[in-house]
Structures are given as C-alpha cells and as structure tokens.
Structure 1
Amino acid sequence: MKRALLALLLSCVAMADIYKHVDAEGRVTYSNVPMKGAKRIDMSGLPGSIPAPRSGGSSSGGSRASANPSPADFPKVDSATQRSRDLNRRQLLQDEMASEQRLLEQARTELSKATPERAAKLRDDMMHSEKNIEMLQKEINRIK
C-alpha cells in the first residue's frame, strides 16, 4: 500500500513533490504528503520532467481528464516526449518491482529458519511485499 502511493504519483504527467521515508525497521515509504523524518526527492533532473503545477486550481482529484478539460495555457506534451516519460516510468516501476521481489524471496528464505518471534515479522514483511508487487504490477499494466 505504501509503495502504491509511489505508483499512483508516477502516473501523473506533471510530477508533484514526492517524499521518501525510511522507518526504524528499514521499510521505505514514498508519499506525496510530507511526514516527520521524510526527505523530499528531487525529480527535476529526470528526463522528461516538468515542474509541478501550482496548487490553487479547482481540481477535486477524483475526476478523469475528460471530465475536467485542461486550461488553454496548460503545457502540451508531444507524443514522443510522452512515450519517453512512459518508458522511464515503466523502468522505474519495474526496478521497484524487482526490489520488492528480492525482499519477498529473502523473507521466504529466512522464514524457514526463523524463531517464532522473527517468523511473525517475516510474514508481515512478506505480506507487505506481496501487496506492493500487486500494486506495482497493476500500475505497470496501465502504461501504454
């Protein structure tokens, strides 16, 4: 669920601020909402990135683009640039999925020789990774 936020954030054409938080157990959480101890990720150097729009618009966040047409002065993106952005986004999501799959496999391996206390944490970690993998796969499938 936590990394699902990253996937949802990456689905936007314009990038908003993204924050990375590592908890005491080493779990990484990405969010568009600042939290205590989180670091803002500077994504301005990524290929195809554009500045995030200023908040102040009347977007409700729940509607699709067809329901709320873009203003006339909204930046237009040519298809080659969008294709490049989609490829970059797909690669980022695939890299994140590979990382989650490694974590899941590592937890499965450790589970067989873990103490009962450690086994409970490993099962929790496995469930966390499985959910992340599922959400990442859904987001990858959405990319054209």
Structure 2
Amino acid sequence: MLYFSLGAAVLAPLAVHAGTFYKCTGASGKILFTNTQQQGGKTTCVVLFQQREPPGAAPSRGRHDRSPRASATPTPGDFPRISGNEQRARDGERRAILEKELNSELENLAKARKLAATAGASPNVQAQRDTAALHERNIKALQKEIGNLR
C-alpha cells in the first residue's frame, strides 16, 4: 500500500495537462477557476473538467506542436466551398470592421485619459483609470487581431 501511495504521488503531476480545469477555494473563501492546480496554503481544488485522450492516442504535446495532422472527421465532399475572391472580400470587410473598432477604442482611450486627468483627487479617479486601462487592453487585442490577418 505504501508503494502504491508513493507511486500515485509521483505520477499525479504527470496527469495534469491543459485539458484539466479546477475550481480552487482559498482560505479566505475566494474562488479561482484555473487550468493549473494551486499548491500550498489552505487552498482546496476540485476538478471540474478533465479532457480524456482516446485510447491509443499519442500524448498531447501542447501548444508548441505545429506539425500537420489529419482531421478527426474529414470534410464531406458536398461541403460548400467559397472562391478565393469571395474569401479575400470577406477578409477585407473583417479588416475594415476591426480598424473601425480600433479607431473607436483610440478615441475612447483619449476621452478616458482626459477624464482621468481632470478627475484630480475625486473618488472616481480610480474608475477612470480602470476605464483607460480597459481601452488600452482592447487596443492591444485589436492590433494583435489585425496583425493576424492575411
């Protein structure tokens, strides 16, 4: 029994992967949902979801595996296809929408910074700073999305 317990303790960290999600509760009662089990302290974690590998499947190599692989379910022959020109038009529309959203976020950021600067020592200065930080994060996300376009 002792060997079984030691073996389980050694192999347990190997079983944890990105497909496992936990609900962890800290000593203060704060709840955290995460894909990594929290260690130490008075934190208790419960597995909410664990992705199982199909029998005979190779172990997952994580996000850095960029090797091509066959689709689990092949595309049916009668699946609708679109032309390259139509896809380029859709991509152009998407870029235009993202750029419009980016310009809107830039304007909102400028307004939020102006309000934060004029708030001085008022009680809502932190709310204005939080709003400006939100717009900054949105801008970074939109720039990243635009950079990912073909």
TM-score, scaled relative to structure 2: 0.49
Q: Indicate the RMSD between aligned Cα atoms, in angstroms.
A: 2.3
Larger radius of gyration: 2
Alpha-carbon distance in structure 1 between the residues aligned to 2:70 and 2:118: 54
What letter matches 2:95 in structure 1? R
Matches within 5 A, 1:45-124: 67-68=70-71, 69-114=74-119, 115-124=121-130
Q: Are 1:132 and 2:117 an aligned pair? A: no
Runs (5+) with no aligned partner, structure 2: 1-62
Query: Following the alignment from structure 1 to structure 2, what is the Cα–Cα distance between the partners of residues 133 and 89?
Result: 16
Instruction: In structure 1, list runs of 5 or more residues that go unmatched.
Output: 1-61
Change (3 A) 1:129 1:88: same
List 4+ stretches of structure 1 deviating above 6 A. Answer: none
Give the stretch that moved more between structures: 101-110 or 68-77. 68-77
- Name the SS for the 1:71 alignment partner: coil
Distance across 2 between alignment mates of 1:97 and 1:104: 10
| CA shift for structure 1 position 67 | 4.6
| Structure of greater relative contact order (alpha carbons < 8 Å, 6+ residues apart) | 1
Q: Which amino acid aligns with 2:86?
A: T
SS at match of 1:116: coil
What is the letter of the counterpart of residue 119 of structure 1?
A: V
Deviations 1:16-46 (A, max 9, x none): xxxxxxxxxxxxxxxxxxxxxxxxxxxxxxx
The change in CA–CA distance for 1:137 and 1:125 in structure 2 (over 3 A counts) is same
In 1, Cα distance between equivalents of 2:70 and 2:144? 23
Question: In the aligned structure 2, how far is the partner of 1:91 from the partner of 1:75?
Answer: 25
Provide the rounded CA distance (Å) in 1 between the counterparts of 2:84 and 2:69: 18
Q: Structure 1 CA distance, aligned partners of 2:135 and 2:77? A: 42
